[in-house]
A and B are shown apart, each in its own frame.
Chain A
Amino acid sequence: MWQSVFSLVMVTLTIKISIPYILAAIGGTFSERGGVINIGLEGMILNGAFCAVLATWYTGNAWAGVVAAVIGGVLTALIHAVVSIRYKADQIISGVAINLFAIGITKFILKMVFHSSSNSERVVGLPFWKIPVINKVPVIDTIFSTPLILLTLIIIVASHIIIFKTSFGLRLRSCGEHPQAADTLGVKVNLMRYAGVLISGGLAGLGGAWLSLDQHQFTDGMSGGRGFIALAAMIFGKWTPLGATGAALLFGFAEALQIQLQSAGVKIPTQFIQMIPYLLTIIVLTSAIGRAVPPAADGKPYEK
């Protein structure tokens, strides 16, 4: 049993499960670092997943699907951005509305285009790259032969650099911590916040593309709460891209473990493993040591 748990299969399974969590959690990090709470990640993933399949189905090219997923995610995020930045509305309610909207619109169009209330037709997926030498090495092979995993790897590193090593990142973070001070220094607070929210939508949309293209179809409600696990990963990772990635991998590992244990015939109730991300998040929010503290101005509309 332990062999199957600590096998290479387990590593690749963990990575594959974690991809949408990583992307959406980093997205959430961008949004909240800029000062906008994003409960709508779930809806952005769902819309991204749907746009990916829709565009792939029309064009026959999965890359068009990837681009469409990012655009779909960004457009969904745009609603959240306009409502919460331009109109200074409650960001939590806006996020909830985005999630309801995504469930409704995807199923609505699913019925109109595919005449089904449960799933789309099958579409082509992304190609696997065969890279010589590397394709002999397990795990590494999976990472480099699967375009979206490789892209996610690049995004993780790039996000860390952008948020912590560039002036854009410094400005973004200043808008989330102390927008008045940022404004005094000439930072366009609302513009930065738009950027943060839209990036979060794009990344969550990409996470959606991974989900639907991996399964070669869209199924109703396929985001399945992943946006909320991503939210948990973002908090558990203390609003940093690397932390969020680590948390997402941990949550992904728990899920992979559940699948492996089940196939190995071990009788641990799966429901308890499902609770792990949420329990850990509550613990990290409340524990005395290593407590997660959000950006100071997170969730507060900026008033000049």
Chain B
Amino acid sequence: MDKREKLLEILSPVLAVVAAFLVGGIFILIIGQNPLFIYGKLFSGTLGNPYGIAQVLFKATPLIFTGLAVAFAFRAGLFNIGAQGQLYMGAFLTAYLGFTLVNLPGFILIPLCILGGMIGGALWAAIPGILKAKRGAHEVITTIMMNFIALALTNYLVARHFHAPETVHTQAIAFSARIPRLSTIFPGLSGSPLNYSIFLALLACFIIYYILWKTSLGYELRAVGLNPFAAEYGGINIARSTILAMAISGALAGLVGVNYVMGYKYYFEQGFSGGVGFMGIAVALLGRNNPIGVILAALLFGLLSFGGLVINAYVPKELVDILQAIVIIFVIASSRPFREYLMRLKKRTLARGEQG
């Protein structure tokens, strides 16, 4: 990759975001508001005070997990649309361990619950991996189907077996399974459920970076992602790497429950995650399937997500949903023309070189 390509890699998402904000501005104008005022509110309400920043980080935490999940699978040549289902399975298992093993001390129960979330997500994601590896079923379709099955299954488990009386959510997890909020150390953040999960998310980014670029496993997975035929010829077991990549991806998605179940509500309920599984696709895309990119993209989407609530007094908060969709559309629509432009530039430079 030369310098121009790297620049483009960074520039094109940034331009897409700017363009999306311009289109969003038109929406704001149509409903008779001042875009500059609304956007001013959006940024001052989110980044202008400690509580706002904490909320942005809180909203970004699950997006880092799902974005990383999608990005990791993508590096291995797999399209994991199933983060939504995987995080449901993971979060349920996290909660289940949390309200069942109530007598365990925190230093055992907390890691156990986190591990449970990873295992729940990993097993759920491994199924499409196995179906792809053994039967050639396309993972996009199977993961979509698995999302709905997970939704129905957890719904059944909660509604029929594990709901707390008179509620639609599970019992609360043990106190020893709860992750402290950051407001316990920084009183300025009080009111925000931002908790230590954010550090787990950052750690996950580092570990995934390490696995992908510093281990032979990562090398294998990336080789399969770039060219499965060449990788197989080179002696890599495609079936194994497909299943493994899906499982790791699912384990990452399964960590979403840590933020919500262990750090925020302390129980599992249907619909707890909103659409973070699908937003993970956008985060991975915007972050160029790179762990650091994923963090930045998750922060942006977290900012928009909380920002919607800030501006809700002036414009419907769904403005940010529209903005997010437009960002995705612009990023994917512009990637091709950008690349072609780069090719033309390269050719011109080459031609000039020949003349000189």
* A pairs with B: yes
- The one of A105, A228, A231 in contact with B322, judged by C-beta atoms closer than 8 angstroms, is A105
Count: A-B pairs, CB below 8 Å: 128
- The one of B31, B141, B159, B319 in contact with A285, judged by C-beta atoms closer than 8 angstroms, is B141
**Mask for B64-81, Cβ within 8 A of A = 1, else 0?**
000000000000000101
Cβ of A63 within 8 Å of any chain B Cβ, yes or no, is no
Cβ of A281 within 8 Å of any chain B Cβ, yes or no, is yes
Q: A235 contacts B332, CB within 8 Å? A: no
Kindly list chain B residues whose C-beta atoms are within 8 Å of the C-beta of A82.
333
Kindly list chain A residues whose C-beta atoms are within 8 Å of the C-beta of B329.
79, 83, 94, 97, 101
Number of interface residues of B (CB under 8 A): 45
Q: B324 contacts A286, CB within 8 Å? A: no
Kindly list chain B residues whose C-beta atoms are within 8 Å of the C-beta of A105.
318, 322
Chain A, range 30-52, C-beta contacts under 8 Å to B: 37, 39
Q: B335 contacts A89, CB within 8 Å? A: yes
Q: B281 contacts A96, CB within 8 Å? A: yes
Cβ of B156 within 8 Å of any chain A Cβ, yes or no, is yes
Cβ of B144 within 8 Å of any chain A Cβ, yes or no, is yes
Give B103 Cβ to nearest chain A Cβ, in Å. 31
Cβ of B47 within 8 Å of any chain A Cβ, yes or no, is no
Kindly list chain B residues whose C-beta atoms are within 8 Å of the C-beta of A294.
138
Q: B31 contacts A112, CB within 8 Å? A: yes
Chain A, range 117-164, C-beta contacts under 8 Å to B: 117
- Of the listed residues A97, A272, A281, A285, the one surrounded by the most CB atoms of chain B closer than 10 A to its CB is A97
Q: Dominant SS at the B interface?
A: helix
Complex alpha-carbon distance, A194 and B257, angstroms: 41
Complex alpha-carbon distance, A108 and B145, angstroms: 29
- The one of B31, B140, B148, B281 in contact with A274, judged by C-beta atoms closer than 8 angstroms, is B148
Give A230 Cβ to nearest chain B Cβ, in Å. 12
Q: B135 contacts A104, CB within 8 Å? A: no
- Of the listed residues B142, B160, B322, the one surrounded by the most CB atoms of chain A closer than 10 A to its CB is B322
Considering only CB atoms, which chain A residue lies closest to B320 in the complex?
A104
Q: A89-B332, A90-B332, A107-B321 are in contact. Are A97 and B148 (CB under 8 A)?
A: no
**Mask for B308-348, Cβ within 8 A of A = 1, else 0?**
00000000101111101110110011111100000000000
Q: A235 contacts B153, CB within 8 Å? A: no
**Mask for A163-177, Cβ within 8 A of B = 1, else 0?**
000000000000000
Q: A278 contacts B282, CB within 8 Å? A: no
Q: A285 contacts B137, CB within 8 Å? A: yes
- Where the two chains meet, the residues of A that have a C-beta atom closer than 8 Å to any C-beta of B are 37, 39, 79, 82-83, 87-90, 92-94, 96-101, 103-105, 107-108, 111-112, 117, 225, 228, 231-232, 235, 269, 271-272, 274-275, 277-279, 281-282, 285-286, 294
A-B contact pairs, 8 of them (CB 8 A): A101-B326, A108-B319, A108-B321, A232-B145, A274-B148, A277-B148, A286-B131, A294-B138
Q: Given contacts A89-B333, A101-B322, A104-B325, could you give 6 more A-B pairs where the C-beta distance is less than 8 Å?
A: A83-B332, A83-B333, A92-B81, A104-B322, A108-B27, A278-B145
